[in-house]
Structure 1
């Protein structure tokens, strides 16, 4: 298995630790893939017994074997019986240490971050299901893995993700409370770690950095007048029948909340554009706002509920219509911005005046994998050199139904190849320090908790 310190470089690190994959082994296990060509066949799961006792909880042999098979499915190489024994020993240790962290979380009354947990659950299921062409294939794989129903599999996934979330939350709490402090790492130790693992490091991707002005296509004044007249009419209707807010939103609103009657859910300050945010937090529950204008269009807002630092609101949005003439006007403006920029115009001034602050695009992207750029970016940047200001190019704006225009300058270029020590030194320093801090925590928890390991993979025996 790849040493834990390399996980940061591959983006897999969750909590830096010398536990190889302390949390990864407690993560949800995907349905099995096709059999690999490993020399040693995986062990089946029927064998059971107590592999270890941790406090008042047990780790079963079947859990160890399931995690081993999952690790092999994910790419762990097992070419001999000795390799299999080593993998089982590592995973048994990881499961014990994961349980120590979960028990510490319970002791400190640490709760799972429910919002983050639900996102992880949804993303995990989506990612796993995407590996199968049909629902029938997915269910067949679940059956082969020993699951009776999709709900049974989903419950296991959710339980394991909750355990992983608890581990993350308890480590975060211990850091906040000063119970886990950084440990110094010497240059010699960093050099040694790099030399020991350089052949196992992944090759770095080609990367590029940009600064950009994202220019939104704006409606004409005539279109804005028509949209304003429309929402003023709706506001007048609400004066007469305020109870019709949800029905009007379902019929007239022009965004993704339409089917929900304009429901925006719970929101904290700063989530919405400033004009919307100010009005939403100024309203009392049940009061309907006057019409306000934002970069998205015209809104009417109603706050349904309030709690500390959050409000639950609905809105009706009417967007001015955009057409090809508006797009042509935006393209002409983008061309003029590029001309001014190339002539020495200030990026800061241009971005303040023209960048679409309502969008999700950053003004500055220090570095980013070229292969992960959207296709319009990849095409426009092909063959460009450091410092080049590229010709404006269109980027679809799904919310508006037209294109935005991107004016960008290349600020960083790095070809694909092997990592150098200089490139990874600080990441290795941080990772080694985190690993040692985590190891100290785990060793302390082992001293405070009853731990008895009863399964010996080398002998395939379970001690009573």
Structure 2
């Protein structure tokens, strides 16, 4: 039996792939970083999303059970052994053992070895498995059920002609995963030895397995994204009892709630003159003419773009969904045909030339060239004086909301609620380290690169000490995420009724 969970990629069963959009370090069992690289980063405010239950179906299993084992690993976390070596539980030679078929979904079998691997994976992470034979059998049935769910989604995605997963994107994902795993070993010999312990005879075998896992995960994700974008996977509203039960199963793994701060802010950004904007537009037009005469977009982006985040990548923005970019940019990106270059698009950042590379339901892959109008020192001084005036008005008791509506840069966040104090950006942390609720802190500068600093007028609205995580702290996250799970569960139930499933356990 191969305990390949030691080198698992982010993905796995459907409860890992499609339900939890962000994995959590603070809200999930710890991984062995020797073998498994981090899955994803926390959200911007330092709090990852509230995790669904583990690999077993969390809602609506065939038996009607609506809860998962409290010992199940959190969704979104790849399995990892507790030690650096993932050894089989038995030393017998299984070369000629015929794998038992537990179920058939369409024309694909669900094998006993898949369930054994999952059980070993959980045990390696420190999860205590049930001792009663009846409980073990029930747990194995739950794992089989979740494998069936995964296979149903994969097969449905394969039937959908609008869902495309290219060999190149899978190859790129495999290379990245191999790189992350390989960097944890000091030599190729150690790396291959650890692969063998996990059940892979060669690095090439590991790559082949990883390629299959990456492709299956991508198919599931694309299907869920397509269903959501088409309005066919609308969240189901869980009731209060379901939400509290869900919280009860997860509470033990949540740890302590960090000390947090809440604040609201008015961000004042220096604005270029009309003449500077006209000069920038003329420059963007000249680049556009060169592109339409055959100049290479990526080369032009490296030479002319003023976006430091994408310039060196030839303007590459990768895949993004609606709501990620400013509205002016998105209106063009989501309506433009691949390969074409847009006219200059003005946004609060400057003028963009946009080239859409690929599209799929709900998201776009694009490049851009950003031309930023010049900003003279007089405009910067004017913005600083304005921020000082706004600060003085607030200290004297002027309504914050009215000043924010009038002066705040609409591309900046209006504030934040319960941000962990140790996750605050450097520009904020020093000034917010002290001060009670209601304090208007001194105006400070938010570095923005290229001499385009912004000025921040900020008021602390709340401070909360470290403590236990309460239901009310995560209630909204539970509602959103459990609602998504319920919607997926309902869709899977429909697939089960319309698909061939031969359950042999």
TM-score by length of 1: 0.66
Mark the runs of 5 or more structure 1 residues left unpaired by the alignment.
454-464
Instruction: Give the drift of 1:262.
Output: 5.2
Counterpart of 2:502 in structure 1 is 450
Q: How many correspondences in the alignment?
A: 433
Q: Is the 8 A contact 1:280 1:301 kept in 2?
A: yes
- Aligned pair 1:161/2:211, yes or no? no
Q: Which one of the candidate residues 16, 20, 44 is aligned to 2:68? A: 20
- Aligned pair 1:379/2:430, yes or no? yes
Q: Is the 8 A contact 2:152 2:492 kept in 1?
A: no
Provide the secondary structure at the position in 2 that maps to 1:76: coil
Q: Is the 8 A contact 1:209 1:411 kept in 2?
A: yes
Q: Is the 8 A contact 2:332 2:342 kept in 1?
A: no
- Aligned pair 1:94/2:139, yes or no? no
Instruction: Give the drift of 1:105.
Output: 6.7
Give a deviation string over 1:338-381, Cα, whole Å, max 9, x none: 222222333333333333333xx421323333333323333322
Q: Superposed, which structure 2 residues align to 1:174-185 within 5 Å?
A: 176=232
Provide the secondary structure at the position in 2 that maps to 1:407: strand
Question: Separation in 2 of the partners of 1:128 and 1:199?
Answer: 34
Q: Is the 8 A contact 1:113 1:169 kept in 2?
A: no
Q: Which one of the candidate residues 118, 121, 139 is aligned to 1:70? A: 121
Provide the secondary structure at the position in 2 that maps to 1:349: helix
- Aligned pair 1:11/2:50, yes or no? yes
Q: Superposed, which structure 2 residues align to 1:137-216 within 5 Å?
A: 139-140=191-192, 141-147=194-200, 148-149=202-203, 151-162=207-218, 165=221, 176=232, 202-216=255-269
Q: Which one of the candidate residues 291, 304, 320 is aligned to 1:252? A: 304
Question: Separation in 2 of the partners of 1:34 and 1:237?
Answer: 56
Structure holding more helix per residue? 1
Deviates more, 1:362-371 or 1:20-29: 20-29
Q: Is the 8 A contact 2:247 2:471 kept in 1?
A: yes
Q: Is the 8 A contact 2:52 2:75 kept in 1?
A: no
Deviates more, 1:291-300 or 1:128-137: 128-137
- Aligned pair 1:413/2:466, yes or no? no
Question: Separation in 1 of the partners of 2:275 and 2:336?
Answer: 26
Deviates more, 1:312-321 or 1:246-255: 312-321
Counterpart of 2:102 in structure 1 is 52
Q: Is the 8 A contact 1:53 1:450 kept in 2?
A: yes
Question: Separation in 1 of the partners of 2:229 and 2:341?
Answer: 40
Q: Which one of the candidate residues 388, 391, 394 is aligned to 2:442? A: 391
Q: CA RMSD in A?
A: 5.8
In terms of Rg, which structure is larger? Answer: 1
Provide the secondary structure at the position in 1 that maps to 2:504: strand
Provide the secondary structure at the position in 2 that maps to 1:146: coil
Q: Structure 1 residues 95 and 125, CA, compared in 2 at 3 Å: closer, same or farther?
A: farther
Mark the runs of 5 or more structure 2 residues left unpaired by the alignment.
1-18, 20-26, 29-46, 60-65
Question: Separation in 2 of the partners of 1:266 and 1:25?
Answer: 26
Q: Is the 8 A contact 2:443 2:455 kept in 1?
A: yes
Give a deviation string over 1:133-185, Cα, whole Å, max 9, x none: 4674794544542332262353144145247538957997999479x966756
Q: Structure 1 residues 30 and 127, CA, compared in 2 at 3 Å: closer, same or farther?
A: farther
Deviates more, 1:49-58 or 1:12-21: 12-21
Counterpart of 2:38 in structure 1 is none
Counterpart of 1:404 in structure 2 is 454
Instruction: Give the drift of 1:321.
Output: 4.8
Q: Which one of the candidate residues 370, 384, 390 is aligned to 1:317? A: 370
TM-score by length of 2: 0.61
Question: Separation in 2 of the partners of 1:87 and 1:300?
Answer: 59
Q: Is the 8 A contact 2:350 2:372 kept in 1?
A: yes
